[in-house]
Amino acid sequence: MKVKANIAGLILPVLFIGGILLSSALGYWKTESSKKPTKFTTGIFEGEADPADIRGSYSFSDLEKAFDIPVETLAKAFGFSSSDNPEEIKLKEFEERYGIISDFEIGTSSMKLFTALYKGLPYEPEDDTGIPQPAWNILNKEGATDKETLETYNERVVSLEGLEVSTGTAEHTEESEEETTIKGKTLFSDLLNWGLSKEQIDDALGMSMGTPGDSVRDFCSDQGIEFSTVKEPLQELLDNM
pLDDT(176) > 50: no
Q: What is the pLDDT of residues 69-95, one digit of tens each?
A: 999 999 999 999 888 899 999 998 887
Please tell me whether residues 154 and 92 are part of one structural domain.
yes
C-alpha closest to that of 60 among 96, 99, 98, 91: 91
Which pLDDT score is estimated for 106? 92
**Count of residues making up the chain:** 241
Round to whole Å and give the CA distance between 206 and 223: 11
Residues 148 and 207 occupy one common structural domain: no
Query: Are 76 and 130 members of one domain?
Result: yes
Residue 72 located in a structural domain: yes
Evaluate if residue 234 carries a pLDDT over 60. Answer: yes
Residue 19: which pLDDT band, with cuts at 50, 70 and 90?
A: low
Phi, psi for 116 (deg, rounded to 5): -60, -45
- Same domain? For 61 and 135 the reply is yes
Is the separation of the CB atoms in 185 and 105 below 8 Å?
Answer: yes
**Does 129 map to a domain?**
yes
Mean pLDDT for 156-166 is 69
Pair 128, 199 in one domain: no
Mean pLDDT across 23-49: 73
Last residue of a domain, one of 158, 184, 213: 158
Confirm whether 6 is domain-assigned. no
Residues 93 and 59 reside in one and the same domain: yes
Does some domain include residue 39?
no
Domain boundary among 104, 138, 158: 158
Q: Exposed, middle or buried: residue 83 (CB in 10 Å: 0-12, 13-18, 19+)? A: middle
176 and 79 within one domain: no
Does this model's pTM top 0.85? My answer is no
| Cβ–Cβ < 8 Å for 144, 150 | no
* DSSP summary character for residue 153: T
Distance of CA 181 to the CA centre of its chain: 20
Check whether residue 121 and residue 202 sit in a common domain.
no
Looking at the predicted structure, is the pLDDT value of residue 177 above 60? no
Cα–Cα nearest to 132, from 61, 79, 60, 54 = 79
Q: What is the mean pLDDT of residues 111-140?
A: 95
Residues 148 and 183 in one domain: no
- CB contact set of 46 (below 8 Å; sequence gap of 6+): 39, 40
222 within some domain: yes
* Domain assignment of residue 16, yes or no: no
Nearest residue to 112 via CA among 89, 135, 138: 135
Q: How confident is the model at residue 112 (pLDDT cuts 50, 70, 90)?
A: very high
147 and 219 inside one domain: no
Determine the average pLDDT of the residues in 185-191.
84
* Structural domain of 204: 169-239
Count the domains in the chain: 2
Residue 177 resides in a domain:
yes
Q: Give the pLDDT confidence of 129-146 residue by residue, as tens digits.
A: 999 999 999 999 999 999
Q: Judge whether 131 lies within some domain.
A: yes
Say yes or no: 59 and 151 in one domain.
yes
Looking at 158, 188, 214, which one is the last position of a domain? 158
Ranking 33-37, 115-119, 180-184, 228-232 by mean pLDDT, the lowest is 33-37
Question: For residue range 44-77, what is the model confidence (pLDDT) as tens digits?
Answer: 999 999 999 999 999 999 999 999 999 999 999 9
In this structure, are 188 and 154 located in the same domain?
no
